[in-house]
Amino acid sequence: PEIYNWPGTAWFYLIAAIGKILEICGLALTAPRVIWLARFTNTLLSTGTLWLTYQIGVRFYSRFVGCIGAALLALAMLHATNESRFALIDIPATFCVTLLLWLCAKDQATSFRRAIWLGVLVGIGFAVKYTTVFAGLSIVAFFFIHRTEGWGRTLLKLATVLGVGAISFTLICPYWLIDLFSPEWNKFFDALFYEVSHYRRGHLGLFATGEVTWANRLTYLWTLLRWGMGWPLALLAFIGILIGMIERRDGDNILLAFVLPYLLFIALHKLKFARHLLLVYPALTVFAAASIRSVRKGRKGNISRFLAFPSRFTSSCLLALFLGGVGVYSLIYTAAFAGVLTTPPTPIETAEWIASN
């Protein structure tokens, strides 16, 4: 590879491997076909992410949460239209993170075998996009919450995850090691520090430090989510996070261990695009669905009891109406963006009009 900014290596190799198989089968690969192949692969990965989101909701909460969480993710504009159809690394990175969370949700076994598999996923995810490393905090929460042995063995399992992850990353992306010892070839760390400077100073240095206050950096998360999934779903996701912080179930703690530090990381940097939050979209839609479940059940001893309605039938009807409103708005919002994407670009329309007139 010639690009190491994200680094993206694992995804590059995946597309290259699929392309090589197709070539063996007789398909001649041209540049447009490679791009189409990458876009098609991302569409499959985004579809797989929906299934993993459903499984996370089922394992951590209930089948209701799994179904609603996956449905909301399918309606989220950024996931459904923009990123899933582009040849970019955000969808593969989101798939890796969601697969890792699913492995934490699958059961409560904290064996060394589980640690090895988690380490492999950490290494692959890191070789797709560096920021997937924040999902590793969910692994730490998983082993601490379901600890059945002494602290020594628990820490040894976490060290196994770290070691296997480092080995997996090095096997897929050995260029950091080459760069470390080579006096001439320095592409890897040059690209890495280039991206770090963008996060710190702003894209291409266009933003001066004094122009963006810390308060604006934090509140801009709302803007990113509002544009990425529509304000009703974004609001419901924030409510779900708040309820999760109050109820603190095992599933809440494992998801929050990843979501909260990642949101803080994105907020504190000046370079922020809506797609940077795509990694947490599956977790956010699960939180959104879990908030509906908590309010509907009105669990004793937590905030959802105070939000519950006197009549269970009345609460179910009102919540169904509210959830339907969120779903309809998200569908219309996503369809509107999809309609824009199917419109020919203005420069092309202008050139055609000039040519014909």
Q: In sequence order, what are the beta bridge partners of 254?
A: none
Greater confidence, 160 or 195?
Answer: 160
Helix, strand, coil shares, percent, the chain, to 5: 80, 0, 20
Q: Please provide residue 13's backbone torsions phi and psi, each rounded to the nearest 5 degrees.
A: -65, -35
Terminus-to-terminus CA distance in the chain, angstroms? 45
Percent of the chain's residues with pLDDT above 90: 52
At 296, the pLDDT band (50, 70, 90 cuts) reads low
Q: Give yes or no for residue 160 having a pLDDT over 90.
A: yes
Q: Give yes or no for residue 200 having a pLDDT over 80.
A: no
Contacts of 241 (CB under 8 A, 6+ apart): 256, 259, 260, 284, 287
Q: Please provide residue 129's backbone torsions phi and psi, each rounded to the nearest 5 degrees.
A: -155, 130
Q: How many other CB atoms are found less than 10 A from the CB of residue 149?
A: 11
Q: What is the DSSP secondary-structure string of 213-241?
A: -HHHHHHHHHHHHHHHH-HHHHHHHHHHH
Burial (CB count within 10 angstroms: exposed 0-12, middle 13-18, buried 19+), residue 23: exposed
In the prediction, which pLDDT does 231 show?
Answer: 92
Q: Enter the DSSP assignment of 147.
A: -
For residues 125 and 100, what is the distance between their CA atoms, to the nearest angstrom?
9
Q: What is the DSSP secondary-structure string of 150-213?
A: -HHHHHHHHHHHHHHHHHHHHHH-THHHHHHH-SS--HHHHHHHHHHHHHHH-GGG-S-GGGS-
Place of tokens 């569409």: 43
Contacts of 256 (CB under 8 A, 6+ apart): 141, 241, 244, 245
Most confident of 149-163, 211-225, 289-303: 149-163
Please say whether the beta carbons of 236 and 288 come within 8 A: yes
Find the mean pLDDT for residues 85-113.
91
In the prediction, which pLDDT does 304 show?
Answer: 46
* Number of residues in the chain: 357
For residues 79 and 5, what is the distance between their CA atoms, to the nearest angstrom?
22
Find the mean pLDDT for residues 207-211.
52
Find the mean pLDDT for residues 38-57.
95
In the prediction, which pLDDT does 133 show?
Answer: 95
In the prediction, which pLDDT does 208 show?
Answer: 46
Q: Minimum mean pLDDT among 27-31, 41-45, 210-214, 235-239: which range?
A: 210-214
Q: Give yes or no for residue 95 having a pLDDT over 90.
A: yes
In the prediction, which pLDDT does 300 show?
Answer: 44
Q: What is the DSSP secondary-structure string of 38-61?
A: HHHHHHHHHHHHHHHHHHHHHHHT
For residues 27 and 112, what is the distance between their CA atoms, to the nearest angstrom?
43
In the prediction, which pLDDT does 218 show?
Answer: 82
Find the mean pLDDT for residues 288-310.
64
For residues 176 and 57, what is the distance between their CA atoms, to the nearest angstrom?
37
Across all residues in the chain, what is the average pLDDT? Answer: 86
